[in-house]
Homo-oligomer: A and B are copies of this chain.
Amino acid sequence: MEVKDLGEFNLIEKIAAHFNGRDQDLLIGIGDDCAVYGKGSKKLSLVTSDMLVEGIHFNLDFTSPYYLGGKSLALNISDIAAMGGKPRWFLLSLALPGHMDVSFVEEFCTGAAHIANKYGLKLIGGDTVASPDKIIISITLMGEEDGTEPIRRDGAADGDQIFVTGTIGDSAAGLELLKGGTSRDSENKSHVEVIMKHLSPTPRILESEFIASGKIATSMIDISDGLLQDLNHICRSSGVRGKVWLDRIPLSDSYRETAQGLDLDTPFPLVGGEDYELLFTVPLEKVEELDLLEKEFFCRVTHIGEIVRGEGVALYDSHNNEIELTQYGYEHFKAGQ
């Protein structure tokens, strides 16, 4: 069997099965946004890692080295945010073809340093190696739980309400525009807005800190693979079913305008991915605590569904009819994406 027939999530299970020893200091291993270890220490340690491959995750025709540097770091920060942690140190590994101009590295690092400084992160190591042709970026980010408990994927319970920060689908629509030849210098402001959401996402660190310190969420994830796919990760880990109301999905005006022009179909924003918004579940009695997130952090928070008994993820239209889903979102190796 080939890797592409197995799919990313089955592959991860296959890999994990080889390394199933116990570890008394480990709180959370494979299967969440970060691993968490250091039970008994003053602060729990979080760690997450992402690998980006040229031609798969990014295309230098669409993005600049500056934005690529910032985004590479931002998406790891988003994984720390998804668990309510505080990002601290990172390792940067770069594989570069020998003929690359050094200016690529300069601009990449300028972009990454901008994000590192914004969130108070420090580069402490990594690796630089030659690559035959493609650029490969691997970042490992370490963080801490600063007196809070990590928010896991597996805590969602029957009756919890589902919330999402910000708006959904902008990044995926921006990517569609870029693929179609629209640049980030377009004169259409809506186009520029969704393109920039794709090139330069903002991880929700402050919002995550608020949610974690108030113990508001029973489960949380950041949206990288697509809202439905990531909700399914929560549901699978928690052993519950997620119901989502399509007409509640928060869409930006820029998204609506772009989607109309591109003729994007209804589930597009739900499966597009790379939103790097927080998707989380909240028990009914905690819901009103979210008001502060909007008032103090000026962060749009939308109630998009609820957790029920069962499994999987279901989408409902405004007449409460279930909409059939052919896919949840992005998965590496799956053919035809």
Q: Are the C-beta atoms of B2 and A128 separated by less than 8 Å?
A: no
A43→B25 CA distance, assembly (Å): 13
**From A34, A100, A333, residue with most partner B Cβ within 10 Å:** A333
Please give, as numbers and ranges, the residues of chain B lying within 8 Å of A15 by CB-CB distance.
92, 94, 105, 109, 123, 126, 128
Among the 9-residue stretches A45-53, A150-158, A203-211, A280-288, the one with 4 or more Cβ atoms under 8 Å from chain B is A45-53
Q: Are the C-beta atoms of A30 and B132 separated by less than 8 Å?
A: no
Please give, as numbers and ranges, the residues of chain B lying within 8 Å of A56 by CB-CB distance.
95, 129-132
Please give, as numbers and ranges, the residues of chain B lying within 8 Å of A93 by CB-CB distance.
49-51, 138
Q: Are the C-beta atoms of A95 and B1 separated by less than 8 Å?
A: no
Judged by DSSP, the binding face of A is mixed
Assess whether A180 is interfacial by the CB under 8 Å rule: no
Please give, as numbers and ranges, the residues of chain B lying within 8 Å of A140 by CB-CB distance.
47, 49, 91, 140
Q: Are the C-beta atoms of B128 and A12 separated by less than 8 Å?
A: yes
A228→B48 CA distance, assembly (Å): 35
A117→B14 CA distance, assembly (Å): 17
CB distance from A133 to the nearest CB of B (A): 8
Please give, as numbers and ranges, the residues of chain B lying within 8 Å of A105 by CB-CB distance.
3, 11, 14-15
Which residues of chain A from 281 to 323 have any CB-CB distance to chain B below 8 Å in the complex? none
Interface size counted on chain A using CB atoms at 8 A: 80
Assess whether A263 is interfacial by the CB under 8 Å rule: no
Please give, as numbers and ranges, the residues of chain B lying within 8 Å of A98 by CB-CB distance.
2-4, 333, 335
Q: Are the C-beta atoms of B53 and A136 separated by less than 8 Å?
A: yes
Please give, as numbers and ranges, the residues of chain B lying within 8 Å of A57 by CB-CB distance.
129
Assess whether A278 is interfacial by the CB under 8 Å rule: no
Q: Are the C-beta atoms of A123 and B19 separated by less than 8 Å?
A: yes
A112→B18 CA distance, assembly (Å): 9
CB distance from A306 to the nearest CB of B (A): 30
**From A54, A127, A134, residue with most partner B Cβ within 10 Å:** A127
Which residues of chain A from 102 to 123 have any CB-CB distance to chain B below 8 Å in the complex? 102, 104-106, 109-110, 112-113, 116-117, 122-123
Q: A18-B110, A45-B45, A136-B136 are in contact. List 18 more A-B contacts (CB 8 A).
A: A2-B99, A3-B97, A4-B99, A8-B128, A15-B105, A18-B112, A19-B112, A19-B116, A21-B116, A29-B125, A30-B123, A48-B125, A51-B95, A53-B95, A54-B132, A57-B129, A133-B134, A134-B134
Q: Footprint of B on A, CB under 8 Å? A: 1-4, 6, 8, 11-12, 14-16, 18-19, 21, 23, 25-26, 29-30, 34-35, 37, 41-43, 45, 47-57, 88-89, 91-102, 104-106, 109-110, 112-113, 116-117, 122-134, 136, 138, 140, 142, 332-333, 335
14 contacts between A and B (CB under 8 A): A2-B102, A4-B98, A14-B106, A18-B109, A26-B124, A35-B91, A41-B43, A47-B89, A47-B91, A49-B127, A53-B130, A57-B129, A95-B136, A136-B136
